[in-house]
Amino acid sequence: MSSTARQTQADSVAPTSPTSRSPFLRAARGETPDHTPVWFMRQAGRSLPEYRAARQGVGMLESCMTPELIVELTLQPVRRYAVDAAIFFSDIVLPLKAVGVDLDIKPGVGPVVASPVRTLADVEAIPDLEASHVPFVIEAVRGLVDELGETPLIGFAGAPFTVASYLVEGGPSKDHARTKAMMFGAPDVWAALLAKIAGIAAAFLEIQVRAGASAVQLFDSWAGALTPSDYRDFVMPHSASVLRQVGELGVPRIHFGVGTGNLLPLMGEAGADVVGVDWRTPLDRALDLVGPRAVQGNLDPTLVFAPTEVMTARAAEVIEAGRAARGHIFNLGHGVIPSTDPDQLKRLTEFVQGYRPAG
């Protein structure tokens, strides 16, 4: 990274930044905010009627490549819920599309890759990501920072294992058989592929931070399919590479995976400042696993369908457990379910922000 780029990054997270004293960033840094900050993964999505209206007739990838729409969809949950952070509206495979990989996101299916990766030549054919590939991202982030004011914007990227799985399988997979076959049977191709994806992910996050994002999240949807030893040997070095490169930018780094209770110690070691915890692992147990780091999570997403008093009672348990952490950012243990009632999520947000310990 050039000295000019480093200065640009440093300026974006300077202590005089409007977001620097936000509850979200204070918790991510291990400080004590005035209230437990809260945001929700997939908070901009199909649960919002305004989201469905804005995306009417517009494909997912087109939505992720249109600056005005990115800004609108990112801002919608901030307007509705007054959450403590916005998450940049994008998709895990967007950087691949931007560099020229032939893929599409098919409704009801997910990302589908026309020519799955099988060989070293396939890996070498994937270009590295440059800022010139994603001018729409830069424009959208700058517009969002202007609109958000004191509310931080979280940059977003898919982690190497998850993105690799889509490239190798050609689409979503329940057993990741082809992915693991490459990992175990063609380790040279696997290592080259994950190094390529790690470089793309780091560049994508850097571009967002350079444009003004205040934090980043590395999202690993499928890492829970791995044993701890396989994660450590075949995946962790590449996720650590992304986190290390982003660490040079001076912004908090969140690392989240689904079904990763058995991987939490390693995910902490990979270098994140904040480890996301899904709902399957009690938060108090997770604190013993992630080390001296802040945590994010981890209310079961289905609890928003329970009576409000049940939901808030369970949320209080999560908040109380989080008080023992170096820092705690309240979130669901995965993304917002599309059929969630937005009014219930609003009640949950207000409860978390207004929560004060008894006595």
Q: Would you write out the chain's pLDDT as a tens digit for each of its 359 residues?
A: 333 333 333 334 444 588 889 999 999 999 999 999 999 999 999 999 999 999 999 999 999 999 999 999 999 999 999 999 999 999 999 999 999 999 999 988 999 999 999 999 999 999 999 999 999 999 999 999 999 999 999 999 999 999 999 999 999 999 999 999 999 999 999 999 999 999 999 999 999 999 999 999 999 999 999 999 999 999 999 999 999 999 999 999 999 999 999 999 999 999 999 999 999 999 999 999 999 999 999 999 999 999 999 999 999 999 999 999 999 999 999 999 999 999 999 999 999 999 998 75
On whether residue 166 sits in a domain, the answer given is yes
Quick check: is 42 catalytic? yes
| Residue whose C-alpha is closest to residue 8's, from 216, 212, 215, 217 | 212
On whether residue 179 sits in a domain, the answer given is yes
On whether residue 359 sits in a domain, the answer given is no
The span from the CA of 296 to the CA of 255, in Å, is 9
CATH number of residue 274's parent domain: 3.20.20.210
> Who's near 181: CB < 8 A, 6+ residues apart?
none
Contact (Cβ atoms closer than 8 angstroms) between residue 193 and residue 124: no
Quick check: is 55 catalytic? yes
On whether residue 305 sits in a domain, the answer given is yes
Contact (Cβ atoms closer than 8 angstroms) between residue 117 and residue 168: yes
Contact (Cβ atoms closer than 8 angstroms) between residue 270 and residue 228: no
On whether residue 153 sits in a domain, the answer given is yes
Quick check: is 122 catalytic? no
pLDDT tens-digit profile of 126-137?
999 999 999 999
Task: Tell me what pLDDT residue 357 has.
Answer: 80
Number of domain units in the chain: 1
Catalytic-labelled residue, pool 91, 273, 278, 300 = 91
- pTM here is 0.94
Catalytic-labelled residue, pool 26, 51, 55, 231 = 55
Task: Tell me what pLDDT residue 16 has.
Answer: 57
SS3 276: strand
The full DSSP string for 41-86 is TT-SSTT-HHHHHHTTT--HHHHHT-HHHHHHHHHHHHHHH--S-E
Catalytic-labelled residue, pool 46, 118, 280, 314 = 46
On whether residue 103 sits in a domain, the answer given is yes
Catalytic-labelled residue, pool 42, 232, 280, 347 = 42
Q: Which letter, b or e, does each residue of 260-291 get, where b requires 16 or more Cβ atoms within 10 Å of its Cβ? A: bbebbbbbbebbbbbbbbbbebebeebbebbe
On whether residue 302 sits in a domain, the answer given is yes
Let me know how long the chain is: 359
CA distances from 272 to 87, 116, 242, 291 (A): 17, 30, 10, 11
Task: Tell me what pLDDT residue 108 has.
Answer: 86
pLDDT tens-digit profile of 268-308?
999 999 999 999 999 999 999 999 999 999 999 999 999 99
DSSP state of 9: H
Q: Which domain holds residue 150?
A: 3-354
Catalytic-labelled residue, pool 166, 220, 273, 326 = 166
Q: Counting beta carbons within 10 angstroms of the beta carbon of residue 318, is it exposed (0 to 12), middle (13 to 18) or buried (19 or more)?
A: buried
